[in-house]
Structure 1
Amino acid sequence: MTLLTDSLVVDGVRLALRDRGRGEPVVFLHGTPSHSYEWRDVVPHIEADGFRTITYDLLGYGRSERPVDRDTSVAAQTDLLGHLLDALDLDRVGIVGHDIGGAVGQRFAVASPGRVRRLMLIDSVSYDSWPSPTWRRIIDEELDDLPGMSQDAFDALLTRQLEMTVADASLMTGDVLRAYLAPHRSAPGRASFFEHQVRHYDSRYTEEIGDGLGRLTMPVRILWGEEDRWQPLHYAKRLRDDIPGAELVVVPGAGHFLMEDAPGRVVREIRDFLTAPPR
């Protein structure tokens, strides 16, 4: 399905966007290597529950603009989130962030706690948890050579990585796999992947806010796939221990792309979290 149906120019750049519903606003932030496609089996259900959902491709990802001279780091994406909320005239929102989207959510909550009503982190990068060992090797040994690789070689590399994101490998095949590969099915798309995503796999963006997590006061729920091979469960437990009052929910039989392994469970957890009385 096509989840994102609109676009909006924010701070001089174009973001592919879905903005539906009239209830309490909730922003969905995707991870990497990914785009908003990962929310296709989640967001429509939350909309149907009466929430206003804002889902967009991060700058340099998916169908959003891929500028050649614009910072697309986690820090820059956090600033852009603030500009997006301003453009939509939204003062306070719930945030659901996956992977690096979780890092954007963490940074935004630490910097602008008054604008975050609730925060859910799904298999989020944190502290020094990223890049994963496989991505670190690629960055250290191959990064400068990767943009020039053939499409077949690129597809093989990214497919190997995407297959690690699910506990059930059969889920990352066919049309689903093709959808994750689709934004990079060209030379500019491959170059953009490395320049806008991989070059910014840098844990300093989460390490530098570690102390700030202890000052968060909004409700926080951490949702984690027990079999996540990129973000080990002990990081989820550390987040739970460092964020006052945070809840941790572990999903057995699920990996890093929890929305692929267990979309129904993700919907139920988000629904429960968004409707729980604020503490």
Structure 2
Amino acid sequence: MNPIATDNVLIDGKRIAHGVYGQGEPIVLLHGTPSSSLIWRNVVPRLVGAGYRVHLFDLLGYGHSERPRDPSVDTSISAQVPVLEALMDHWGLETAHIVAHDFGGGIAQRLGVFHPRRLQSLTLIDVVSYDSYPSPRTRQQMASGLERLIKVPDSEHRAHFREWLLTAVHDPQRLESSALETYLDFISGPIGQASLFQHQIRHYDPKHTMEVAARLPELGRIPVKLIWGAHDAWQSVDYAHRLHADIPGSDLSVLEECGHFSPEDRPEEIARLVIEFLKR
């Protein structure tokens, strides 16, 4: 599947794949784990068609961006915030509408709390928050040792994560016929398998969101939209209601027949809700 982050820039000496589409008010899209900017491929054309300039990128250690070999390079939620800010500077954006999914939502929460001037508005879609991650299943795997998981045969690794990714959507057949194999390619093979654990899973630590949990009411200073899949098996919709209660003035939409990867299950609805929110 063709990438949508087709340009590259060095941020603090690390290569970041990114892309810009359309003209108008700026929107920055943040993806999560274990996906990439590709998750926005069916949302971007609708945002562009509505008159927005869309900026996106693959997080450091994800997708088509650099996978640093040095294990001391931090690719956690907290460490991705300065990468985002540097990219916004590269794009010439002092401020923008931020739309974030999954781990990207953790990045966006920290940006909104520590650097509120960078946000015109914030849309959080099926995001990590508070102590909502890792899931019990993932926590158990991490406890058994990541080194062992890094070294399992590729076929076993791919089979395991194929099944795991299919639990992220309400319509597995739709994902299987589109982006599933590309997502698996990013996290499998001689580079992707080790990178998944080094750059993603080892940073599944709720400290990054718990550090800002008590300050989430501060996000009420800007317009905030929450969008959640009613059948999200990775991030319970209970967290959507908790965020809604903690962020004054926030608006919540819960989508039926929709799982955690809501931009895969319901891209048309996601785009419609974002556009309506921004125009309002």
TM category (shorter chain) comes to over 0.9
Aligned partner of 2:183 in structure 1 is: 180
- State the one-letter code of the partner of 2:244: R
Unmatched 5+ stretches in structure 1: none
Aligned partner of 1:225 in structure 2 is: 229
Matched-pair contact (CA < 8 Å) for 2:123–2:227: yes
Q: Partners of 1:47 and 1:223 in 2: how far apart? A: 20
Q: Does 1:68 align with 2:69?
A: yes
What TM-score, normalized by structure 2, do the two folds share? 0.96
Q: Partners of 1:267 and 1:87 in 2: how far apart? A: 25
The SS at the match of 1:64 is: coil
Aligned partner of 1:103 in structure 2 is: 106
How big is each residue's C-alpha offset from its partner over 1:250-270, in whole Å with a ceiling of 9 and x where there is no partner? Answer: 001110000111111111011
Q: Does 1:168 align with 2:177?
A: no
Q: Partners of 1:215 and 1:119 in 2: how far apart? A: 12
- State the one-letter code of the partner of 2:164: Q
The SS at the match of 2:55 is: strand
Q: Does 1:87 align with 2:90?
A: yes
How big is each residue's C-alpha offset from its partner over 1:223-262, in whole Å with a ceiling of 9 and x where there is no partner? Answer: 0000001111110001001011111100011100001111
- State the one-letter code of the partner of 1:231: Q
- State the one-letter code of the partner of 2:231: E
Q: Report the aligned-residue RMSD.
A: 1.1
Matched-pair contact (CA < 8 Å) for 1:10–1:87: no
Aligned partner of 2:279 in structure 1 is: 275
Aligned partner of 1:15 in structure 2 is: 16
Q: Does 1:241 align with 2:242?
A: no
Q: Partners of 1:44 and 1:5 in 2: how far apart? A: 16
Shift of 1:84: 1.1
Q: Partners of 2:11 and 2:45 in 1: how far apart? A: 24
Q: Partners of 2:82 and 2:160 in 1: how far apart? A: 31
Shift of 1:147: 1.1
Q: Does 1:196 align with 2:199?
A: yes
Shift of 1:22: 2.7
Aligned partner of 2:54 in structure 1 is: 53
Shift of 1:272: 0.8
Aligned partner of 1:261 in structure 2 is: 265
Runs of 4+ more than 3 Å apart: none
When structure 1 is superposed on structure 2, of 263-272 and 141-150 the one drifting more is 141-150
Identity score, percent: 43
How big is each residue's C-alpha offset from its partner over 1:13-60, in whole Å with a ceiling of 9 and x where there is no partner? Answer: 111111122311111000111111111100121112211111100000
The SS at the match of 2:196 is: helix
- State the one-letter code of the partner of 1:267: A
Q: Partners of 2:23 and 2:12 in 1: how far apart? A: 24
The SS at the match of 2:3 is: coil
When structure 1 is superposed on structure 2, of 149-158 and 181-190 the one drifting more is 181-190
Matched-pair contact (CA < 8 Å) for 2:34–2:187: no
- State the one-letter code of the partner of 2:18: L
Aligned partner of 1:139 in structure 2 is: 142
Shift of 1:172: 2.7
Aligned partner of 1:38 in structure 2 is: 39
Matched-pair contact (CA < 8 Å) for 2:157–2:188: no
Matched-pair contact (CA < 8 Å) for 1:219–1:246: yes
Shift of 1:144: 2.0
Unmatched 5+ stretches in structure 2: none
When structure 1 is superposed on structure 2, of 34-43 and 176-185 the one drifting more is 176-185
Q: Partners of 2:141 and 2:78 in 1: how far apart? A: 22
